[in-house]
Amino acid sequence: MTRVRAVELRMIGLPLVRPFRTSFGTSTEKVCVLARVETDDAEGWGECVADIEPGFSEEFNDGARLVMREFLVPALFAAGDLSPGALDRVFAFVRGNPMAKATLIDAVLDAELRASETSLASWLGAERDRVECGVSVGIAPTTGELLEQVAGYLADGYRRIKLKIEPGTDVERVEAVRAANPEIALSVDANAAYTLEDTDLFRRLDASDLLMVEQPLHHDDLLQHAELQRRIRTDLCLDESIRSAARAEAALSLGSCRIVNIKQGRVGGVPEARRVHDIARSASVPVWCGGMLETGIGRAQNLALAAMPGFTLPGDTSASSRYFLDDLTEPFEMAPDGTMAVPNGPGIGVTPRPDRLEACTLRVETLRP
Ligand code: NPG
């Protein structure tokens, strides 16, 4: 049992090493809300995966901050003594808003685990101390630049390349990367940019022997993905459409995908992500850990998740240097063999470096009961 004494909400901003372009927009900096909770026994950290604009999902930074400040944090204070795992119920009066909820759920969980000197990875039943890393490559200005970037990431050791695609910048690019790299594990991510009318395009992609096609259709759809999956050979993977364990169950029973991308923030926190993992595992469906350009705080959580037994494909868990010149925490480094160590200290195992935290802070407020 623990009581939350204070919550600090901090908006931070870090420049990205190169612009990251997807079918829904271009990011040049990482801006997000960090929550630091103080309990009776410890402090804990959570990172909100919402972005500046509501492009990936309807949540966005300022909205998520308000939902936390006006609704979730007061509910946390009013709840008094919390037993682990009780937060889903405490927050149930707020519909949706999984990213805002995840930030606080993960921060309280981190504090609880730090207090009991347990690592997040061991709490999750992680079975590995290193995980395989993939990298997500944004839409490049030209095919030549894309090939160059891919070659650089392969030289770094990344074990799976994921190409962002959008209508007009898809089949030829993928074919060029495949021709230059016949053996690599290659996938594509459309971020919901296509419709069923594009079935022929996906049939052409079948020839590139992709590991998966991620979220080709509408961001909230399950039925049309099931139809597309029947029409093509390549495995579909869902990301945006999987907003909870219940949606994951529905997707698997409808045949909407054969692989699931798990992002803890998109499903409402690490405990719900674990439930998605368990559902997929009992259906023998492979999962992998997605990324949302997290700082070291979110990256530490992702690595712990990615070490669970059902995470059998490399995730978007890249090294800090793929995103930032100087991360908020000590940088996460990938070994030349394309693997990264899972943090094993109490909780998420890392904290922001105080000087970096200060330098990256755009605004901060502390809430108390
Ligand atoms: O390596 O963290 C990473 C980025 C992986 O492609 C990636 N993320 O659609 O999955 C996505 C995309 C994303 C990034 C989505 C930022 C939303 C925000």
> Cβ neighbours of residue 338 under 8 Å, at least 6 residues apart?
132, 133, 156, 157, 158, 159, 314
Copy the structure tokens of residue 101. 């909820």
Query: Which of 33, 132, 133, 136 best tests ligand 1's pocket when mutated (most atoms within 8 Å of CB)?
Result: 136
Q: Is the C-beta atom of 347 inside 6 A of ligand 1? A: no
Question: What pLDDT score does 38 carry?
Answer: 97
Q: Could you give the residue numbers annotated as active site? A: 164, 263
Copy the structure tokens of residue 42. 């410890």
Count, in order, helices (H) and strands (E) of the chain. 14, 13
Whole-prediction pTM value?
0.97
How far is 148 from 83, CA to CA, in rounded Å?
51
Q: Determine which residue's CA is closest to atom 12 belonging to ligand 1.
A: 292
How far is 262 from 291, CA to CA, in rounded Å?
9
Query: Which of 49, 293, 317 best tests ligand 1's pocket when mutated (most atoms within 8 Å of CB)?
Result: 293
Q: Could you tell me the distance, in angstroms and rounded to a whole number, from the CA of residue 138 to the centre of ligand 1?
A: 9
- For residue 69, is pLDDT > 90? yes
Query: Which of 17, 22, 133 best tests ligand 1's pocket when mutated (most atoms within 8 Å of CB)?
Result: 22
The ligand 1 atom at the shortest distance from the C-alpha of residue 138 is: 6
Question: What pLDDT score does 220 carry?
Answer: 97
CB neighbour burial string for 91-123, b if at least 16 within 10 angstroms, e if fewer = beeeeebbbbbbbbbbbbbbbbbbbeeebbbeb
CB neighbour burial string for 208-233, b if at least 16 within 10 angstroms, e if fewer = bebbbbbbbbbbebbeebbebbeebe
Question: What pLDDT score does 116 carry?
Answer: 96
Model confidence band, residue 2 (pLDDT cutoffs 50, 70, 90): confident
The per-residue pLDDT for range 221-265, each reduced to its tens digit, is 999 999 999 999 999 999 999 999 999 999 999 999 999 999 999
The whole-number average pLDDT for the span 138-161 is: 97
Question: What pLDDT score does 310 carry?
Answer: 97
DSSP 3-state of 336: coil
Question: What pLDDT score does 84 carry?
Answer: 67
The ligand 1 atom at the shortest distance from the C-alpha of residue 291 is: 2
- For residue 199, is pLDDT > 90? yes
The per-residue pLDDT for range 258-281, each reduced to its tens digit, is 999 999 999 999 999 999 999 999
Q: 82: which DSSP letter?
A: B
Q: Is the C-beta atom of 59 inside 6 A of ligand 1? A: no
The whole-number average pLDDT for the span 48-62 is: 97
DSSP notation for 95-126:
-S-HHHHHHHHHHHHHHHHHHTT-BHHHHTT-
**Cβ–Cβ < 8 Å for 12, 295:** yes
Q: Is the C-beta atom of 293 inside 6 A of ligand 1? A: yes
Question: What pLDDT score does 80 carry?
Answer: 86
Number of C-beta neighbours around residue 137 at 10 A? 22
The whole-number average pLDDT for the span 121-126 is: 97
The per-residue pLDDT for range 321-358, each reduced to its tens digit, is 999 999 999 999 999 999 999 999 999 999 999 999 99
Q: Is the C-beta atom of 261 inside 6 A of ligand 1? A: no
- The percent of the chain in helix, strand and coil, each rounded to the nearest 5, is 35, 25, 40
Question: What pLDDT score does 86 carry?
Answer: 85
Question: What pLDDT score does 244 carry?
Answer: 97
Q: Is the C-beta atom of 56 inside 6 A of ligand 1? A: yes
Q: Is the C-beta atom of 47 inside 6 A of ligand 1? A: no
- For residue 82, is pLDDT > 70? yes
The whole-number average pLDDT for the span 180-207 is: 98
The whole-number average pLDDT for the span 286-305 is: 98
Q: Is the C-beta atom of 292 inside 6 A of ligand 1? A: yes
How far is 166 from 185, CA to CA, in rounded Å?
20
